[in-house]
Structure 1
């Protein structure tokens, strides 16, 4: 595989449509998020009340391609339930004996909201563009299931795919937001256990620092994501991380040159609340010897790839991601 460009940024300020819609969301969402941040850490009851409506809204804003097939999975591995769904934009179930790769998708949203259903549109579009099936993991959320439950589930989901007969080099791990942090945790765990690494990583607006200090510091310098207030986001994250120390090895995942690290593509919006997370992750990967590319998209906010109706750049970014995946298929 050819070495990807280490840092890349499309020209311009972003499309007129995305700038207009981002401006609208900033006016609507920031007052709400700021008010939420003044109340301190949200209660579990508040989260339980808002989660269904927020999930429905995100699902409606990220349409699923019409030809997408979905197969729910509820199976056991080592006495714990593996939940998720196969998402395919083409006929036929995924077969381990086929040379075709699969996507292992880890959804984001602070470890406390969202599901494979909210991200089915994004995963379906990835499947359509690559021609690959995707297993989208339904990991357990906080505060009902605190740190590191989601990470344990992500590791177990990868082991389940291996148990189905898929080889590590057939799997490309993709994820957004908190899913990016889950992907790093998985890579570190594979190294500790001597388990084969996936063929590659594709990460959208990835979380690197679950304390959210990088995001809060960025916001204080004047970077404003159109959708997310960093202080409020930090308090929602604490519903999952609780009192876990910032230097816990599964909070700030350490990468080392002796690790076998897969080729990685990171995409982030220039208005991104977690822009510094993406850049820190890119630096950590390259310092450890990974073949990692960072793409920064002007005029875009958090996980803009999820919203094709709002941003033409969403389609362009997924085209770039699918192109990166195709280079892995020929490696």
Structure 2
């Protein structure tokens, strides 16, 4: 069944029409139409403002939340919103038993780098200033939002703010220089992105700025002091090496890190929960990672060992 589901998803993604030169507004509407799924029925949603930006709160209705999750959506820093990711974030919040806030950070090209990082930091600071204990706070994000989650924590560290209990990133875009070998070696089997498409997003976000700077490409950052990190990625995506190198950098910098490489699945495969067993299993594992660290309510331990796992569920 798992192989059939993977094959069907690959065929579906490859059949999606592609506009070779879409503008940002067309990209945004197309992305929203293709990706948006509503929050689960048992998750309550509310519009709010966090750090001066619109946001969506998602709270499980049938459990007492054990902490708070700040979520940063994917979309190449150009597309996406809390609405497009309501289903994914709601599922993660429900499974982890936490309240989540999904931030509507500013998008490029209207608001290029470092606007997204500034918004992520402002939202994180607002949660702390509002009384949230950092030991009861976690961050998560997918794709560009995964890279942004790490960049937000780097900015928080530089600002002298405490780190949260944990951070989980799904298929993180962590190298906007596109220097990872998988950008080329996985291009034929990635059903979603080509190298040129990824580069186009980087162009809109960074323009002529240095693409190797740590807040744009955290794979090149010193990650010392960051909280326990979970990285999930599919083997059939051009950003595979972004995830692998980010986890390796974290381990080298004494961060407690777990890397999960899920075989034969595409970029942010977790979006396909309910129709891909791998997606549900990965969300369960990410939820357990977050819940366990929030429940412990302890700062990150120094000297923790890195764990690298290639996940192949039954």
TM-score, normalized by length of structure 2? 0.87
- Look up the SS of the partner of 1:144 in the other structure: coil
Give the 5 Å matches for 1:136-151: 136-151=102-117
1:71-126 per-position Cα deviation (integer Å, ceiling 9, x unaligned): 11135x5xxx22211111226997xxxxx211110111100000000000011001
- TM-superposed deviation, 1:293: 0.4
Contact (CA 8 Å) 1:14, 1:298: kept in 2 or not? no
Q: 1:48 to 1:289 in 2, by over 3 A?
A: same
- Look up the SS of the partner of 1:322 in the other structure: helix
Alignment equivalent of 2:97, drawn from 125, 131, 136: 131
Alignment equivalent of 1:220, drawn from 173, 180, 184: 184
Alignment equivalent of 1:64, drawn from 24, 39, 42: 39
Q: 1:130 to 1:20 in 2, by over 3 A?
A: same
**In structure 1, C-alpha distance between the alignment counterparts of 2:113 and 2:8, rounded to whole Å:** 37
Q: 1:230 to 1:14 in 2, by over 3 A?
A: farther
Is residue 290 of structure 1 aligned with residue 255 of structure 2?
yes
Aligned to 1:20: 8
Contact (CA 8 Å) 2:58, 2:90: kept in 1 or not? yes
Alignment equivalent of 2:31, drawn from 38, 42, 54: 54
More off after superposition, 63-72 vs 196-205 = 63-72
Aligned to 2:156: 190
- TM-superposed deviation, 1:231: 1.4
- TM-superposed deviation, 1:309: 4.1
- Look up the SS of the partner of 1:174 in the other structure: strand
Give the 5 Å matches for 1:1-331: 14-26=2-14, 28-29=15-16, 32=18, 36=20, 46-59=23-36, 62-74=37-49, 77=51, 81-90=52-61, 100-214=66-180, 217-223=181-187, 224-253=189-218, 254-256=220-222, 259-328=224-293, 329-330=295-296, 331=298
**In structure 2, C-alpha distance between the alignment counterparts of 1:317 and 1:56, rounded to whole Å:** 24
CA RMSD of aligned residues (A): 2.1
Q: Alignment length, in residue pairs?
A: 294
Contact (CA 8 Å) 1:14, 1:297: kept in 2 or not? no
**In structure 2, C-alpha distance between the alignment counterparts of 1:32 and 1:65, rounded to whole Å:** 29
Q: Looking at both structures, which has the greater relative contact order when contacts are Cα pairs under 8 Å and sequence separation is at least 6?
A: 1
- TM-superposed deviation, 1:63: 4.2
Contact (CA 8 Å) 2:57, 2:100: kept in 1 or not? yes
More off after superposition, 286-295 vs 204-213 = 204-213
Contact (CA 8 Å) 2:54, 2:104: kept in 1 or not? yes
1:223-261 per-position Cα deviation (integer Å, ceiling 9, x unaligned): 42112222112112211111111233422335437x322
**In structure 1, C-alpha distance between the alignment counterparts of 2:9 and 2:69, rounded to whole Å:** 30
**In structure 2, C-alpha distance between the alignment counterparts of 1:22 and 1:248, rounded to whole Å:** 34
1:155-202 per-position Cα deviation (integer Å, ceiling 9, x unaligned): 101011112110111111011001111112122112212210010011
More off after superposition, 132-141 vs 221-230 = 221-230
- Look up the SS of the partner of 1:15 in the other structure: helix
**In structure 2, C-alpha distance between the alignment counterparts of 1:58 and 1:222, rounded to whole Å:** 23
**In structure 2, C-alpha distance between the alignment counterparts of 1:200 and 1:126, rounded to whole Å:** 14
Contact (CA 8 Å) 2:244, 2:259: kept in 1 or not? yes
- TM-superposed deviation, 1:54: 2.3
